[in-house]
Amino acid sequence: MTQPHDPATTFRPDLLAGKHALITGGGSGINLGIAQSFAAHGCAVTILGRNLDKAQAAAAGIVAAGGRATGVSADVRDFAALQAAAEQAVEAHGPLDIVLAGAAGNFPAPVDGISPNGFKTVVDIDLLGTYNTIKAAAPHLKTPGGSVLSISAYGVPVPMQAHVVAAKAGVDALTQTLAVEWGLRGVRVNAIIPGPIDGTEGMARLAPDEKTRAQFTRTVPLGRFGVPQDIANAALFLVSDAASYVTGVILPVDGGQNMLGGAPQYGMYLAMQERAAREAAAGVSP
């Protein structure tokens, strides 16, 4: 089985020296892993989260490890708050080289089991939040040389995730359209589709027990969950000069899961439906 790769042996330590990244949702999980890796490679990071204490604690951890970091607060659904936070970021560390739109909201629910407001909430955070982040950061983004990276998801139909799949399809379309519009100003725009990643709130919600984890593992050709470092390695490449001719790419970093389409997740869904039907027939309450 493959193992996560240590970026210290891959990328030169000053890969992002002198750069500044604004990272939304950076207080935990995948985005914190990216923030830590960027900082370890010389980048100042502004961590933006809904919860100021959490963002500041994440920033303090990076500073304690020898990096440069600041925590700021905004809800990505609030454009004015994002504009103010982007200005705070610039005051702290100067103009932006990198914008990482990572904030997301998710819960598993079938279309029949989610209210219009539940669906709207996820679209507001994932799609409009990504747009708001990029739009608020744009006046501060270096041209040429700036880099935008969004965290997408799936790219294929996945039962119980219509709200997320729909919102992230919008993120992918936004990514590629912006890549076209901003190419001539020298700003690259890319996205990553993470597979199942350990240590994230999203996976804790989607695979809350060992049985579900085992089922998820079987949907990944490389046969393991990813770790935040796997995503950070791809992010380091995409925002670095090594990717200076790469734009409009929606890169799955998922152990090969995306390549199989939505079939593995459909298999999990069918098994869940069959189990529920058996339990109902046996009179077991869910």
- Interface contacts to ligand COA, rule CB under 6 A: 104-107, 109, 113-115, 117-118, 121-122, 125, 201-202
Q: Please provide residue 255's backbone torsions phi and psi, each rounded to the nearest 5 degrees.
A: 65, 15
CA dist., res. 175 & res. 249, Å (int): 8
Minimum distance of ligand COA from residue 105's CB (angstroms): 3
Q: Tokens for 272?
A: 């869940």
Q: With contact defined as beta carbons under 8 Å apart, do 136 and 59 qualify?
A: no
Tell me if residue 152 is catalytic: yes
Distance of CA 62 to the CA centre of its chain: 19
Residue 185 or residue 205: which is nearer to ligand COA going by CB? 205
Active-site option among 28, 147, 168, 240: 168
CA dist., res. 20 & res. 18, Å (int): 7
Q: Where are the beta strands (DSSP E) in the chain?
A: 20-24, 44-49, 69-73, 98-101, 147-151, 188-194, 250-253
Minimum distance of ligand COA from residue 82's CB (angstroms): 16
Q: Tell me the residue number closest to ligand COA, measured at CB.
A: 105
Q: With contact defined as beta carbons under 8 Å apart, do 137 and 96 qualify?
A: yes
Minimum distance of ligand COA from residue 115's CB (angstroms): 3
Residue 98 or residue 104: which is nearer to ligand COA going by CB? 104
Other Cβ atoms closer than 10 A to 253: 20
Name the nearest CA neighbour of 190 among 140, 156, 240, 148: 148
Minimum distance of ligand COA from residue 61's CB (angstroms): 19
Residue 3 or residue 117: which is nearer to ligand COA going by CB? 117
Q: With contact defined as beta carbons under 8 Å apart, do 240 and 11 qualify?
A: yes
Minimum distance of ligand COA from residue 30's CB (angstroms): 8
Residue 247 or residue 258: which is nearer to ligand COA going by CB? 258
Q: Which amino acid is at 196?
A: P
Residue 141 or residue 193: which is nearer to ligand COA going by CB? 193
Active-site option among 54, 152, 211, 244: 152
List, by residue number, the catalytic residues: 152, 168
